[in-house]
Structure 1
């Protein structure tokens, strides 16, 4: 009898475990194997297309402003996010100048804001195999009066945090840098070296990306191979290798190959100039129209490729004032013409736009981060406090202020006197 009960118990337990395993199999999440479309309205697609136009228009002066052989990386997404927040505080001709510099001519502020809220909310969760994090914040100095409508707009459309800082506290710069470091997983560090005494507000965007290749490279296939910094100047670098089907094309003067991450919503497109073609020539001829041609050429399906790709890791930092002024944003940087009256009744202007990035590319995938800080300063500094040094004989009066009644009055000739 005991054996029968034991056998029955074993059967029940086994059946229960099998049922649980079956339920787990049925409830296990099936992740997509292809890109999941983020659906945009026609207006949102227009804003994204104009944002890409701004990206290439900005990239050219940035590249031109650096010396040959410098590794460069910008995040147009981060820069445009910070400057689109700025647009919410601009008025009059300053609004028109910032909007035009961002290539948003013809787009209403609501259309621009609506697109950014869509991107911020839906680009983050679209691929569970890819970590994509976006953070925005507005920092106002304790004594700087900011209009509530401006703060509310940034919270609503950009999911921005509203914070305060004390310009007299030497630790404030560390608090702000700490926020940037936290949001970028410590990849963007010590972005601000100090805070000027006349600084009243900061608008900050931070982006963090960590994507695993859909087709990862085998570490065992990584070897030292020459990389030609210039045609006659090879250096040996670690180069990854794999044989795989990738989208590729060979438009004029360049070879393109696209490497997907995760399910393919994110990818890296590599553009390799043909031998004898300088990289600067490709950059000079690159714009949003050329980019669309490139993307079209990659849409014809994968081709088997033997891919040799160098590993790399570097950081980049640049003050973007001159680059943005060259695109038509000069009025926003000019204390005499800037109009940010939708931020505050005090007169302010943009004193700096600072951008910092990080990237590491290796066998498993790519880790990248970026932060953009737009700093605002008073157009005219508040006057220095009047100094009153009561160091000689004086009068004093004690009064009731609402009636004007003088209760006491006196004269001090010698404070040490009894």
Structure 2
């Protein structure tokens, strides 16, 4: 019988204001004895891992890019999932994962632990006014009785806050058990991860990221009107389009692109909207040099911004895409995951993402109104019209972690 493992990265992005959310871990039938989640070590450098996630996000974005198709994915979610599996990888299997994610020689586990604990909303604060809600959950599901290396269990518990839930993959109920965990972690934004799982599966590693956040300054709904969006093939579509006029925003530009930063309440999360001004494909604006130029080049500027609403999802079969990025051995019978258990390889890897953006954060949120009186806004010094394909990146500013990347190719499509 073939021995196989599934690596799964599940993600939901729900940008909204409102109530809290449920965080449910899979039941830990097995967990490293006496090992709690490691405290954040302030001397652990996170920049190399963050830089690797940015570079990986650019690589994957280009691999997935279709000029007529919307795109959303999470470099962070995929990085956490492959970080877990890297803990048990050896030899060429480990080398290829390291190369794809630019994981440092010292390993990714302590930095990923630090990043996760930095971006996650502390217990009790999620959903409070002015506080975004961010959760990161990791889980491993294993066939009943499958031996799991103790060292791997210790890394899983200490750096990823996870244990092992025993399931019976020969039963159709296994998929539903995992899907129920995914629904709980994503506040029902993602209904299911698997329709079915092959009965000879031995392991499923899963990561879920969930985010809810208000804009720091919401768009005025009365200013939203239908406007023309020009797609890559020069065809047009009429879409609800939000506007800000003359407000001071962080703005950057260079030959070929403009960018504005839209902060979320709480000041730690921002969306960068990156709009091509020439013939550069939108996905190319997610390249590390461009994102670095945005980060360092943003200056307060009165901006007239035109931005469509969008609401869409992306499903990615990661095996094919990772092979395009040079990761071959982990998906073959030559894989060495002996640091987890003997004789397994990754037979499937799935990533699902969705995102909704409107005036307050999401269409499901209660409308928030802010009224102010005073003098009129200053005359804009820059105009940013996202009325043709553009890119976006949702970034945790203190660490620089790219939580979500994407391209809006057709805001009328779902």
Q: Work out whether the TM-score is over 0.5.
A: yes
2:347 equivalent in structure 1? 351
Report if aligned partners of 1:89, 1:341 keep a CA contact under 8 Å in 2.
Answer: yes
Structure 1: 5+ residue stretches without partners: 1-37, 372-418
Distance 1:174 1:265 in 2: 35
What TM-score, normalized by structure 1, do the two folds share? 0.72
Give the C-alpha shift of residue 59 in structure 1.
1.6
Worse-superposed segment, 222-231 or 311-320 = 222-231
1:78 equivalent in structure 2? 77
Q: What whole-Å deviation, never above 9, does each CA across 1:334-366 have from its counterpart, x for those lacking one?
A: 11x11011111x301011111000100011125
- From 111, 119, 139, give the equivalent of 1:137: 139
Report if aligned partners of 1:47, 1:107 keep a CA contact under 8 Å in 2.
Answer: no
Give the C-alpha shift of residue 317 in structure 1.
0.3
Q: Secondary structure at the match of 1:196?
A: coil
1:12 equivalent in structure 2? none
What TM-score, normalized by structure 2, do the two folds share? 0.73
Give the C-alpha shift of residue 286 in structure 1.
4.9
Write out aligned runs for 1:244-283 (5 A): 244-274=247-277, 276-279=278-281, 282-283=282-283
Give the C-alpha shift of residue 291 in structure 1.
1.9
Structure 2: 5+ residue stretches without partners: 1-39, 364-393, 395-402, 405-414
Give the C-alpha shift of residue 183 in structure 1.
0.2
Give the C-alpha shift of residue 39 in structure 1.
9.7
Report how many residues are paired. 320
Give the C-alpha shift of residue 293 in structure 1.
1.7
Write out aligned runs for 1:312-331 (5 A): 312-331=310-329
Q: CA RMSD in A?
A: 2.2
**Larger Rg belongs to:** 1
Write out aligned runs for 1:134-283 (5 A): 134-230=136-232, 232-243=234-245, 244-274=247-277, 276-279=278-281, 282-283=282-283
1:23 equivalent in structure 2? none
Report if aligned partners of 1:251, 1:294 keep a CA contact under 8 Å in 2.
Answer: no
Q: What whole-Å deviation, never above 9, does each CA across 1:289-317 have from its counterpart, x for those lacking one?
A: 2321222111x3x1111222111101110
Q: Secondary structure at the match of 1:256?
A: strand
Report if aligned partners of 2:81, 2:207 keep a CA contact under 8 Å in 1.
Answer: yes
2:336 equivalent in structure 1? 339
1:332 to 1:291, Cα distance in 2 relative to 1, 3 A: same
| Structure 2 residue 292 is the aligned partner of structure 1 residue 292 | yes
